[in-house]
Structure 1
Amino acid sequence: MAFGAMLLMVMSSCDRYLDVSPDMRTDVDSPEKVGELLATAYPQANYIPFTETFSDNAGDKGSGLAPLTNSDPYHFLDIGDIYQDSPAYYWNASYAAIAAANHALEAIAAAGDNKAYLPYKGEAMVARAYAHFMLVNLFAQPYQAFSAASLPGIPYVTTVEKVVIGKYERHTVAYVYEQIEKDLSEGLPLIEDRIYTSPKYHFTKAAAHAFASRFYLFKREYDKALHHANAVFGNKRLTDRLRQVNSPAYRSQQYRELEAQYTRADNPANLLLVEVPTIWGRNYASYRYGFTTDILNEMFDKTNVTGGYWGYNIYGSELYYNIPKFREHFVRQSLNAETGIPYNIIPLFSTEEVLFNRAEANAMLGNYEQALTDLNDYASTRIIYSSGTPVYIPEIHEITRNKLLSFYNTYNVQQALINCILDFKRVNFLFEGQRWFDIIRHNIGVKHKTSEGRILVLGPNDPMRLFQIPQEAQGSGIELNPR
Structure 2
Amino acid sequence: MKKKNIYHIIGLLLLSLLLGSCKKYFEVNPDMRTELDTPEKVGELLVTAYPTADYFLFAELASDNSVDKGPGDFSLNDIARDSYLWKEVSQVSDSYSPNTYWLDMYRAIAAANHAIEAVDENNFGTKGRQYKGEALLTRAYAHHMLVSLFSKAYQVNGDNSSPGVPYLTVPEKNAFQNYDRGTVASVYEHIEKDLLEGMRLIKGISYKSPKFHFNEQAANAFAARFYLFKGEYDKVIQYASAIFPENNFKQNLRPIAGALKAAGSNSPALFTGSQQNFNLLLANVYSNFNNIAAGGRYGAGLPTEQMISGNTVAGKQFYQYYTRIGGIPDKLSLGKYPTFSYRASTFATDWTYYTIQCLFSADEALMNRAEAYINTGDYASALKDLNDFAEVRIDGYNVVLHGITESKVLSFYNTTDIRAGLLKTVLDFKQKAFAHEGIRWLDINRYGLEISHRQLDNKWDTTYDVLKKDDLRRVFQLPQSATLSGLTKNPR
TM over 0.5: yes
Q: Tell me the equivalent position of 1:313.
A: 321
8 Å CA contact 2:199, 2:219 repeated in 1:
yes
Q: Note the C-alpha offset of 1:192.
A: 4.2
Aligned partner (choices 454, 473, 477) of residue 464 of structure 1 = 473
Asked if 1:416 is matched to 2:425, the reply is no
SS at 1:273 equivalent:
strand
Q: Tell me the equivalent position of 1:251.
A: 261
Q: Tell me the equivalent position of 2:451.
A: 446
Aligned partner (choices 21, 24, 39) of residue 31 of structure 1 = 39
Task: Give the number of equivalent residue pairs.
Answer: 474
Write the distance in 1 (CA, Å) between the matches of 2:274 and 2:14. Answer: 23
Write the distance in 1 (CA, Å) between the matches of 2:50 and 2:27. Answer: 19
8 Å CA contact 2:77, 2:292 repeated in 1:
no
SS at 2:355 equivalent:
strand
- Amino acid across the alignment from 1:110: E
TM-score, structure 2 normalization? 0.93
Q: Tell me the equivalent position of 1:473.
A: 482
1:1-26 Cα offsets, whole Å, 9 max, x none, are 22222222223342346931233734
Q: Note the C-alpha offset of 1:289.
A: 1.3
Write the distance in 2 (CA, Å) between the matches of 1:12 and 1:481. Answer: 27
Asked if 1:22 is matched to 2:28, the reply is yes
Q: Tell me the equivalent position of 2:292.
A: 283
Write the distance in 2 (CA, Å) between the matches of 1:294 and 1:335. Answer: 40
- Amino acid across the alignment from 1:212: A
8 Å CA contact 2:150, 2:476 repeated in 1:
yes
Asked if 1:402 is matched to 2:407, the reply is yes
8 Å CA contact 1:262, 1:326 repeated in 2:
yes
1:147-166 superposed matches below 5 A? 147-166=158-177
- Amino acid across the alignment from 1:12: L
1:193-212 superposed matches below 5 A? 194-212=205-223
SS at 1:243 equivalent:
coil
1:275-302 Cα offsets, whole Å, 9 max, x none, are 11122133221121122223322431x4
1:205-254 Cα offsets, whole Å, 9 max, x none, are 0001100000000000101111111111115031111111112x432323
Q: Note the C-alpha offset of 1:345.
A: 0.8
Q: Tell me the equivalent position of 2:76.
A: 66
- Amino acid across the alignment from 1:52: E
SS at 2:359 equivalent:
strand
Q: Tell me the equivalent position of 1:133.
A: 144
Write the distance in 2 (CA, Å) between the matches of 1:430 and 1:472. Answer: 30
Write the distance in 2 (CA, Å) between the matches of 1:39 and 1:424. Answer: 33
Asked if 1:9 is matched to 2:12, the reply is yes
Write the distance in 2 (CA, Å) between the matches of 1:406 and 1:223. Answer: 29
Q: Note the C-alpha offset of 1:334.
A: 3.5
Q: Tell me the equivalent position of 2:353.
A: 342
Q: Which runs of 4+ in 1 moved over 6 A?
A: none
Write the distance in 1 (CA, Å) between the matches of 2:377 and 2:436. Answer: 31
- Amino acid across the alignment from 1:201: F
Deviates more, 1:285-294 or 1:348-357: 285-294
8 Å CA contact 2:57, 2:80 repeated in 1:
yes
Write the distance in 1 (CA, Å) between the matches of 2:246 and 2:63. Answer: 32
8 Å CA contact 1:447, 1:458 repeated in 2:
yes
1:247-269 Cα offsets, whole Å, 9 max, x none, are 2x4323231x1121111111211
1:54-109 Cα offsets, whole Å, 9 max, x none, are 00111111131221111111111111111211111111111111000001001111
8 Å CA contact 1:101, 1:124 repeated in 2:
yes
1:168-216 Cα offsets, whole Å, 9 max, x none, are 1010111000000000011111114643111111100000110000000
Q: Tell me the equivalent position of 1:387.
A: none
1:84-99 superposed matches below 5 A? 84-99=95-110
SS at 2:466 equivalent:
strand
* Cα RMSD (Å): 1.8
Write the distance in 2 (CA, Å) between the matches of 1:48 and 1:111. Answer: 39
SS at 1:266 equivalent:
coil
Q: Which runs of 5+ in 2 are unaligned?
A: none
Q: Tell me the equivalent position of 2:387.
A: 376
1:398-441 Cα offsets, whole Å, 9 max, x none, are 00010001001111111111100100100111111110000000
1:71-86 superposed matches below 5 A? 71-82=81-92, 83-86=94-97
8 Å CA contact 1:359, 1:375 repeated in 2:
yes
8 Å CA contact 2:156, 2:229 repeated in 1:
no
Aligned partner (choices 251, 271, 274) of residue 280 of structure 2 = 271
TM-score, structure 1 normalization? 0.94
8 Å CA contact 1:265, 1:273 repeated in 2:
yes
1:426-464 Cα offsets, whole Å, 9 max, x none, are 011111111000000011012000123011111111111
8 Å CA contact 2:206, 2:215 repeated in 1:
no
SS at 1:253 equivalent:
helix
Q: Tell me the equivalent position of 1:167.
A: 178
- Amino acid across the alignment from 1:478: L
Write the distance in 1 (CA, Å) between the matches of 2:157 and 2:417. Answer: 25
Write the distance in 1 (CA, Å) between the matches of 2:406 and 2:187. Answer: 38
SS at 1:448 equivalent:
strand
CA distance 1:323–1:472, shift in 2 (3 Å): closer
Deviates more, 1:195-204 or 1:165-174: 165-174
Q: Note the C-alpha offset of 1:116.
A: 2.6
Q: Note the C-alpha offset of 1:338.
A: 4.7
